[in-house]
Structure 1
Amino acid sequence: MFLKPASAFAATSSTAALPGFAAFASSVKVIRSGRYYLVESSGLPSHNMMVGIKSWQQQVPTIKDYTGTNAWSIPTTPVISKAPLSAKNHFFRGAIALAVNGVPIFNALNNRGDDAYLAGELDDWGGHCGKADDYHYHVAPLHLQSIVGRTAPIAYALDGFPIYGSTEPDGAKVVGLDEFNGHFDKKKKYHYHGTSSYPYINGGFKGVVSEVDGQVSPQPSAGAYGPAGEPLRGATITGFQKVGDNHYDLAYTLNGGTYHVNYTATLDRMTVAFIDPQGNVRNEVYQRKAR
Structure 2
Amino acid sequence: MIRRLALAPLLCLIAAPAFAHEERCAAVAASVDDAGFSDSVTVTCTDSHATLTSDTYPDHDMMTGISGTNEQIPVPAQYAAPIILAPQFSGTPLTRDAALGVAVNGVPIYDYTGGGEMNVADLAHHQAQHDTLQTGQLDLCGGHAGRGDDYHYHVTPTCMIDQMENAGPDAIIGWAFDGYPIYGDVNPDGTAISADALDVCNGQADATFGYRYHTSSDAPYIVQCLMGVVENFDQLPRVRPLTAAGGGGGTEPGRPPRGGVENLVFTQNDDGSRSMDYTYQGQDYYIRYAPSGSANCYDYTTSTVTNGGTIMEGEFCR
Q: TM-score range by the shorter chain?
A: 0.7 to 0.9
Residue 21, structure 1, aligned to residue 32, structure 2: yes
Asked if the contact 2:214/2:223 (under 8 Å) is kept, the reply is yes
Alpha-carbon distance, 1:188 to partner: 7.4
| Count of residues in correspondence between the two structures | 260
Classify 1:112/1:264 alpha carbon distance in 2 versus 1 (closer, same or farther; 3 Å): same
Q: Which residue matches 2:8?
A: none
2-side partners of 1:187 and 1:271: how far apart?
48
Identical positions, percent: 31
Classify 1:155/1:245 alpha carbon distance in 2 versus 1 (closer, same or farther; 3 Å): farther
Q: Which residue matches 1:77?
A: 86
Give TM-score scaled by structure 1 length. Answer: 0.80
Match of 2:117 among 98, 112, 121: 112
DSSP 3-state at the match of 1:144: helix
DSSP 3-state at the match of 1:131: coil
Asked if the contact 1:142/1:194 (under 8 Å) is kept, the reply is no
Alpha-carbon distance, 1:34 to partner: 2.5
Alpha-carbon distance, 1:275 to partner: 6.1
Q: Which residue matches 1:284?
A: 313
Residue 169, structure 1, aligned to residue 192, structure 2: no
| Structure 1: unaligned runs, 5 residues or longer | 1-14
DSSP 3-state at the match of 1:241: strand
2-side partners of 1:149 and 1:53: how far apart?
26
CA-based RMSD of the aligned residues comes to 2.5
Match of 2:300 among 245, 248, 272: 272
Alpha-carbon distance, 1:152 to partner: 1.7
2-side partners of 1:43 and 1:55: how far apart?
22
Classify 1:232/1:166 alpha carbon distance in 2 versus 1 (closer, same or farther; 3 Å): closer
Amino acid in the other structure paired with 1:206: M
Q: Which residue matches 1:157?
A: 176
Match of 1:57 among 57, 67, 70: 70
Residue 178, structure 1, aligned to residue 199, structure 2: yes
Match of 2:104 among 97, 100, 104: 100
Match of 1:135 among 151, 154, 172: 151
Alpha-carbon distance, 1:224 to partner: 2.1
DSSP 3-state at the match of 2:117: coil
Match of 1:235 among 245, 250, 261: 261
Alpha-carbon distance, 1:46 to partner: 0.7
The structure having more radius of gyration, on CA atoms, is 2
Classify 1:140/1:80 alpha carbon distance in 2 versus 1 (closer, same or farther; 3 Å): same
| Structure 2: unaligned runs, 5 residues or longer | 1-24, 119-129, 244-249
Asked if the contact 1:51/1:123 (under 8 Å) is kept, the reply is yes
Asked if the contact 1:55/1:236 (under 8 Å) is kept, the reply is no
1-side partners of 2:239 and 2:63: how far apart?
22
Asked if the contact 1:142/1:154 (under 8 Å) is kept, the reply is no
DSSP 3-state at the match of 2:156: coil
2-side partners of 1:60 and 1:184: how far apart?
37
DSSP 3-state at the match of 2:276: strand
Alpha-carbon distance, 1:235 to partner: 2.1
Stretch moving more, 168-177 or 128-137: 168-177
